[in-house]
Amino acid sequence: MTKIRGVKFFAPISIIIIYLACTNIQTGQTTQRFYDNINGNLRTYGDLTITTPTSFSFSAMGDTHIGSSGGALMARALQMSKNDGDSFAVIAGDDSNTGIESELLTFLSQISDSGLTAFPAIGNHDIFFGGWANYKRIIGRSIYSLNAGNTHFIFLDTANGAFGEDQLHWLTDDLNRNTLPNKVVIMHFPIYIGEFSSLYKISSDEEATIFKNIMHKFGVNLVISGHYHGYGEKFIGGTRYIVTGACNNILDIGNRSGYVKVTVSGTDLSIRQIEL
């Protein structure tokens, strides 16, 4: 029996077979993008110098959906973030609505116009219609890490709702090399979002468990995700998981448009929701 958005139904065997086949396709596409990241000459994002490395703030927003009529809030969110003194923004995927060239160029243009540095993750909408070819050419890498102040940031590719074994190995190696006290992971699909089905979260429970174990082992402070058009949070194994996919007007029921402000004070990371 499957439950999607409160609707229960019994899935016939044909649906289960299709689901398993799609899961294999998802993993294959994720693996291909991983090797494009590792082997390709793609734009990457370097470390950011923070004037006071142990005391700063940044904004986290998701599902900006540039190109959709409901995705017209990012420019305002970035301006609000800058005016509020944030050093930069992170964007948790679905940067564009369909992954076409014009949407991705508008996405970059709005960031540039805001005057605020922003670091994107890739989402499922960004790979629609062969969008990975556009994304890697215009935006660049979908898997990367950087340092800002006393905090290490890791951006993962979960655009197909999967990590893939190679990316999880890369994540472990990256965390092994890190020497900074704070660690933040940004990705599109969340590990956990209340009672909702795998429509909203990483499709493989096995991968999700491995990921949570990695977060616990390395003492990751915060995992930021989107995909669900709203807000959610939960502590698991000492790591705070938040979902902030509401930088749009295409909200899941009961949510309001907004983003979150993360304030770093030493090794303490506090969260405050900002309404748009």
CATH for 249: 3.60.21.10
**Average pLDDT over the chain, rounded to an integer:** 90
pLDDT, residue 130, reads: 80
Q: Is the pLDDT of residue 57 over 80?
A: yes
pLDDT the model gives residue 9: 36
Alpha helices by DSSP H, listed for the chain, are 13-39, 74-83, 101-114, 131-138, 165-177, 205-217
Q: Report yes or no: 143 and 156 within 8 Å, Cβ to Cβ.
A: yes
Burial class (CB in 10 A: 0-12, 13-18, 19+), 173: exposed
**3-class SS of residue 228:** coil
pLDDT higher than 80, residue 8: no
Average pLDDT score over residue span 199-221: 93
Query: Domain limits at 82?
Result: 2-275
**CA angle centred on 71, ends 192 and 121, rounded to 5°:** 50
For residue 139, what are the contacts with CB-CB under 8 A and spacing of at least 6?
43, 95, 104, 107, 108, 120, 122, 126
Handedness of CA 34, 39, 44, 48 (dihedral sign): positive
Question: Residues of 128-141 as b/e, b for ≥16 C-beta within 10 angstroms?
Answer: beebbebbbebbbb
Determine which of 1-15, 82-96, 122-136, 148-162 has the lowest per-residue pLDDT on average.
1-15
Rounded to whole angstroms, the Cα distance separating 57 from 237 reads: 24
Q: 14, 13, 75, 16: which is closest to 198 by C-alpha?
A: 16
CB burial of residue 233 (10 Å; 0-12, 13-18, 19+): middle
Looking at residue 220, its pLDDT comes to 98
143 within 8 A of 162, measured Cβ to Cβ: no
Q: And the tokens for 190? A: 């969340």
Place of tokens 């958005």: 5
CA distance 179 to 47: 14
CB 81 within 8 A of CB 59: yes
Q: What is the pLDDT of residue 194?
A: 66
Q: Give the model confidence (pLDDT) of 76-123 as tens digits.
A: 999 999 999 999 999 999 999 999 999 999 999 999 999 999 999 999
Per-residue confidence (pLDDT) for residue 199, from 0 to 100: 67
Query: How much is the pTM?
Result: 0.89
| Comparison of pLDDT for 260 and 20, the residue scoring more | 260
What contacts 254, CB < 8 A, 6 or more positions away?
Answer: 230
Domain count for the chain, please give it: 1
What is the pLDDT, as a whole number, of residue 40? 80
pLDDT at position 27, please?
A: 63
